[in-house]
Amino acid sequence: MLIISIGIMALVGILSAIDAIKNGINNNFTNMGANTFTIRNAEVNIRVGRKGKKAKAYQRITYQEAVRFKKDFVYPVITSVSTMASFNARIKYNNKKTNPNIQVFGSDENYILTAGYELENGRNFNPGEINSGANLVILGKEIATSLFEKNINPIDKIIKIGASRYKVIGVLKTKGNGAGFGGDKLCIIPLTNARQYFGRPDMSFTINVLSKDSKLLDVILNEAKGMFRKIRKIPFGRTEDFDVVKSDNLANLLIGNLQKVTAGATIIGLITLLGAAIGLMNIMLVSVTERTREIGIRKAMGATQKTIRNQFLIESVVICVMGGLFGILLGILMGNFISFALETGFFVPWFWIITGVIICIVVGLLSGYIPAKRASQLDPIESLRFE
């Protein structure tokens, strides 16, 4: 039973953990808003040329292009412009400081809404502060927790981002760091301030668009693509040099990449289970040898080969199912441990539970068939003489 439990735990646990990761990815992008799409720079800035052709370079999205789009796109939407100011900033408050892995976003007053964040404390930027480039900052929950004691309110405190001082005006609600996206390890500063203090020649800007009506999302997305082609002056018939991505498309892309991981994990789990099945078969063969006299007595009393075979098959299946149920329980706990780590909540992987039970029955039949057949074919006279 323990052998089968370990095999089933490996299979159900690994696959449940992958399901938990998928749930985490979906939750991360659902938090961005089901009605959101993003206009961003092409996937990579330079793509390798083929057959001696020159590699094609994709232009970054400039501040002027992003702001013009926001101004001219007059549809029932909320539009924000943002940029990644720094991937590896260090935040300091008095003698406390974070690791140099904080993401600093420059954004306008609409970014929090279009990116799916909510304020736990404080307030958002106002348009005047965005235009003036004020030294203000909104902190992610994890940064606020690591820099400030529980009894200290971060609002109106002065922190340092790099060499510059910023006044904290807000703290975001926790969002989790699943799938490696910003999450709670980020801070947001006014867009103009980001351009002033973190500006670089290759800085590219991102446009987030939140549709107020989910039914119009696809129509608005196509209109946005057309307008941005006009702003970028892309001739008719030429492919866009920018990406327009719906939030659920990003989730599907990441989940698609997990399919290979799922296949690999399934193979590993099945190999573990194969080892467990071989172990069970050996134990059943030993059991047949140890119970040879019992088999002889049953045959002498009229038991047929079918009766003996069914007895050992049923024993093998019962051992597998009992061990499998314990393994399934451990596998569910393993998957939910990952789920809680990703803050996606408790879930019951019914598919893998049912699959696990079916696999246990099949393994029991396969493992018990040879020992059962051998037991059923024993000669009753020789069996009675065995001991």
CB contact at 8 A, 83 and 106: yes
Query: Do 230 and 272 have their domain in common?
Result: no
Radius of gyration of the chain (CA): 31
Query: Do 273 and 297 have their domain in common?
Result: yes
Q: Give burial (CB, 10 Å; 0-12/13-18/19+) of 386.
A: middle
d(CA 265, CA 271): 10
Query: Do 63 and 191 have their domain in common?
Result: yes
* Local structure of 349: helix, strand or coil: coil
- Residue 52 in any domain: the answer is no
pLDDT at 165 over 80: yes
Query: Do 80 and 228 have their domain in common?
Result: yes
Query: Do 115 and 224 have their domain in common?
Result: yes
Q: CA-CA distances (angstroms) from residue 37 to 125, 222, 246, 341?
A: 22, 11, 4, 28
Query: Do 178 and 259 have their domain in common?
Result: no
Among 41-45, 118-122, 354-358, 361-365, name the most confident range. Answer: 118-122
- Residue 171 in any domain: the answer is yes
pLDDT at 96 over 80: yes
Q: State in Å, rounded, how far the first CA of the chain is from the last one.
A: 28
Buried b (16+ CB within 10 A) or exposed e, 357-369: bebbeebbeebbb
Amino acid residing at 267: I
Amino acid residing at 190: P
If one counts the domains in the chain, the total is 2
Q: What is the pLDDT of residues 297-356, one digit of tens each?
A: 888 888 888 898 898 889 888 988 898 889 888 888 888 887 777 666 677 778 878 888
Which residues make beta-bridge pairs with 186? 103
CB contact at 8 A, 7 and 272: yes
Query: Do 307 and 204 have their domain in common?
Result: no
pLDDT at 181 over 60: no
Q: CA-CA distances (angstroms) from residue 360 to 124, 152, 165, 245, 282?
A: 56, 55, 62, 43, 17
Supply the pLDDT for residue 387: 64
- Residue 50 in any domain: the answer is no
d(CA 274, CA 276): 5
Hey, how many other C-beta atoms are within 10 angstroms of the C-beta on 76?
A: 9
Query: Do 157 and 75 have their domain in common?
Result: yes
Query: Do 20 and 87 have their domain in common?
Result: no
> Residue 71 — very low, low, confident or very high, per pLDDT cuts 50/70/90?
very high
48 vs 345 pLDDT, higher one = 345
Torsion of CA 149, 152, 155, 161, to 10 degrees: -30
Among the candidates 212, 240, 268, a domain finishes at 240
d(CA 354, CA 364): 15
CB contact at 8 A, 144 and 154: yes
Amino acid residing at 298: R
| Tokens, residue 171 | 């703290």
Helix axes 350-376, 305-341, angle to 10 degrees: 150
Query: Do 217 and 81 have their domain in common?
Result: yes
Average per-residue pLDDT for the chain = 82
Hey, how many other C-beta atoms are within 10 angstroms of the C-beta on 54?
A: 6
Q: What is the pLDDT of residues 272-283, one digit of tens each?
A: 788 888 888 888
216 vs 83 pLDDT, higher one = 83
Q: What is the pLDDT of residues 241-269, one digit of tens each?
A: 888 887 665 556 666 667 777 788 778 87
pTM (predicted TM-score): 0.58
| Tokens, residue 208 | 């987030």
pLDDT at 95 over 50: yes
Among the candidates 240, 274, 309, a domain finishes at 240
* Percentage of residues of the chain with pLDDT beyond 70: 86
Q: What is the pLDDT of residues 189-201, one digit of tens each?
A: 999 999 999 988 8
Among the candidates 203, 218, 240, a domain finishes at 240
CB contact at 8 A, 383 and 293: yes
Domain interval for residue 271: 2-24+253-384
